[in-house]
């Protein structure tokens, strides 16, 4: 184990002992279900030694060590994300958060999901403050930890904090999506959101490893999910989403792919309603689910000069379709895809299935797939509005929430597609499903590649380095 930094000079002489605060934080994590071997890391690694003199809390409160050292230290050991950089370090920006020390509860959740075993080597994408790299070094020893950061200034600050606290992992300056890295690893943990899981991550993971990353289907979207992907060494990675979470975007993917429609662009379709049509997109959870149900589109907010409130814009990433939704009930659309109608159909379908959460969906990344479906129309239709008088099921989710049998997913060209943990609509298992479990009988293993589980208690399967969870056979 590494040193925990006690007794080292950090420049933050608050006159208070941080140990009780760290122990209290670890206790709260333990009480919330964090495994003991993960929770105790937060008692041993001093979080405050990886924070700058000034940071911002989740409610954007500015916390300055020079003004109130005691409050600065107490806040450092709360379970919340603390913004440590804004506007990529520029002084003339708008105050947009661009780097942070993640909430300890989220960090513990990701470390737990990674199922790290002794002597495994871990690569962290996004060093940030260096606190997570310190936790990994405490868990595995610094020789088994590598961390990469694209921002050179952040890298040097993290390097100083890590070395001062007694941790010496391999610290690399570069693009975590493209920069060649040393020897292969067993686990990759990304601390930034992506919508395109880089092929290089699959190349980097050794054999049957695991990638844990925040992921969102819409580039630049404010929310995302935790994707836990198991690799098989052949360029395939897939797994279930383990709840929602929000991280800052990878700098290569932070901009939406769809072009925001100009405020003066004339629409081909206009309708007036009584409610606020922006409502689903102003709710982070619902906007995320709509993104899962309607692939190949982007959204955002924009204010027209002279308008009292901003409007929500939608744009297809596959064609020129767009929509604007205004607070006064106006809906303006244009293009081959009527995006608002697609969203209404998807929302109605989602509600008719009992409003399943994001943990009922999963992600597959496969080099060999070679194709991508629009995912929002009936089979045989590419990037067009639903047809017919009755609501139709979005194509990508035809199988959703009807059971737990196979994955219907296929990415291409580095951009991952997604499907649901559901019964195969074609009446046969997908090619990635080769292990099944029947509650009333023994497990049957049909081959080396394993099916990816749903949610239940851990089981250990042969020739795997980490436990999986049982897959539920119940229907929704």
Catalytic entry in 101, 102, 291, 321 = 102
Q: Which pair of tokens denotes residue 36?
A: 């003991």
Residue 374 predicted with pLDDT over 80:
no
Q: Which pair of tokens denotes residue 31?
A: 């009480």
Within the chain, what is the greatest distance between any pair of CA atoms?
72
Which of 109-123, 196-210, 306-320 has the highest mean predicted lDDT (pLDDT)? 109-123
Using CA atoms, how far apart are residues 200 and 250, in angstroms rounded to an integer? Answer: 15
102 assigned to active site: yes
Using CA atoms, how far apart are residues 246 and 287, in angstroms rounded to an integer? Answer: 13
Distance, first Cα to last Cα, the chain: 45
Using CA atoms, how far apart are residues 384 and 345, in angstroms rounded to an integer? Answer: 13
**Cβ–Cβ under 8 Å, residues 172 and 228:** no
DSSP 124-168: EE--TTSHHHHHHHHHH-GGGEEEEES-HHHHHHHHHHHHHTT--
Mean pLDDT of the chain: 75
> Residue 217 — very low, low, confident or very high, per pLDDT cuts 50/70/90?
confident
Which pLDDT value is given to residue 306? Answer: 77
Minimum mean pLDDT among 19-23, 127-131, 401-405: which range?
401-405
Of 154, 174, 133, nearest in space to 88 by CA: 154
More confident residue, 187 or 220: 187
**Cβ–Cβ under 8 Å, residues 323 and 314:** yes
C-alpha distances (whole Å) from 119 to each of 1, 42, 184, 287 are 12, 20, 13, 40
Using CA atoms, how far apart are residues 48 and 226, in angstroms rounded to an integer? Answer: 26
Contacts of residue 321, Cβ cutoff 8 Å, sequence gap at least 6: 315, 333, 334, 335, 336, 337, 338, 339
Residue 300 predicted with pLDDT over 90:
no
- Where are the strands (E) in 382-460, listed by range? 417-420, 435-436, 444-445, 458-459
Q: Given CA atoms 59, 61, 65, 70 in this order, what sign does their dihedral have? A: negative
- Could you count the other beta carbons within 10 Å of the beta carbon of residue 27? 13
Contacts of residue 176, Cβ cutoff 8 Å, sequence gap at least 6: 125, 126, 148, 149, 150, 190, 192, 198, 250
> Residue 254 — very low, low, confident or very high, per pLDDT cuts 50/70/90?
confident
C-alpha distances (whole Å) from 13 to each of 270, 307, 463 are 62, 50, 50
Which pLDDT value is given to residue 5? Answer: 40
Which pLDDT value is given to residue 318? Answer: 78
pLDDT in tens, 330-365: 999 998 888 888 888 888 888 888 888 888 888 888
pLDDT in tens, 256-295: 655 677 777 888 888 888 888 888 888 777 888 887 887 6
pLDDT in tens, 86-132: 988 888 777 888 899 999 999 999 999 999 999 999 999 999 999 99
- Could you count the other beta carbons within 10 Å of the beta carbon of residue 160? 12
Using CA atoms, how far apart are residues 229 and 161, in angstroms rounded to an integer? Answer: 31
């Amino acid at each position: 184990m590494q040193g925990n930094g006690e007794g080292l000079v950090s420049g933050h002489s608050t006159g208070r002992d941080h140990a009780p605060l760290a122990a209290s934080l670890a206790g709260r994590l333990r009480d919330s279900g964090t495994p003991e071997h993960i929770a105790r890391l937060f008692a041993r690694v001093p979080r405050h030694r990886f924070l700058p003199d000034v940071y911002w809390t989740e409610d954007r409160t500015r916390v300055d060590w020079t003004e109130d050292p005691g409050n600065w230290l107490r806040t450092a050991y709360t379970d919340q994300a603390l913004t440590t950089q804004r506007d990529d370090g520029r002084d003339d920006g708008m105050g947009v958060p661009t780097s942070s020390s993640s909430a300890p509860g989220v960090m513990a959740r990701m470390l737990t999901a990674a199922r790290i075993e002794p002597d495994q080597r871990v690569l962290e994408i996004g060093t940030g403050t260096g606190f997570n790299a310190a936790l990994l070094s405490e868990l595995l020893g610094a020789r088994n930890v590598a961390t990469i950061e694209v921002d050179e200034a952040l890298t040097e600050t993290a390097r100083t904090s890590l070395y001062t606290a007694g941790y010496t992992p391999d610290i690399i300056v570069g693009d975590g999506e493209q920069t060649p890295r040393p020897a292969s690893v067993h686990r990759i943990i990304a601390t930034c959101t992506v919508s395109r899981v880089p092929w290089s991550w699959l190349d980097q993971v050794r054999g049957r490893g695991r990638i844990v990353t925040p992921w969102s289907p819409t580039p630049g979207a404010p929310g995302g999910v935790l994707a836990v992907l198991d690799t098989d060494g052949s360029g395939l990675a897939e797994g279930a989403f383990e709840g929602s979470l929000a991280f800052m975007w990878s700098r290569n993917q932070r901009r939406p792919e769809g072009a925001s429609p100009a405020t003066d662009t004339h629409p081909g379709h206009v309708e007036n309603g009584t409610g606020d049509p922006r409502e689903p997109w102003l709710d982070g959870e619902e906007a995320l689910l709509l993104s899962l149900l309607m692939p190949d589109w982007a959204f955002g907010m924009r204010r027209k000069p002279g308008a009292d409130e901003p409007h929500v814009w939608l744009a297809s990433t596959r064609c020129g379709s767009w929509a604007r939704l205004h607070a006064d009930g106006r809906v303006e659309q244009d293009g081959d895809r009527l995006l608002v109608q697609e969203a209404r159909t998807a929302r109605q379908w989602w509600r008719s299935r009992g409003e399943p959460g994001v943990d009922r969906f999963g992600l597959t990344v496969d080099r060999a797939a070679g194709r991508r479906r629009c995912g929002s129309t009936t089979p045989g239709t590419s990037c067009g509005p639903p047809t017919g008088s009755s609501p139709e099921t979005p194509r990508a989710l035809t199988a959703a929430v009807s059971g737990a049998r196979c994955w219907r997913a296929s990415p291409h060209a580095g951009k991952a597609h997604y499907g649901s943990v559901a019964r195969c609509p074609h009446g046969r298992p997908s090619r990635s499903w080769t292990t099944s479990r029947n509650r009333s009988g023994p497990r049957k293993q049909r081959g080396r590649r394993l099916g990816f589980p749903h949610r239940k208690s851990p089981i250990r399967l042969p020739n795997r380095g980490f436990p999986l969870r049982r897959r539920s056979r119940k229907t929704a």
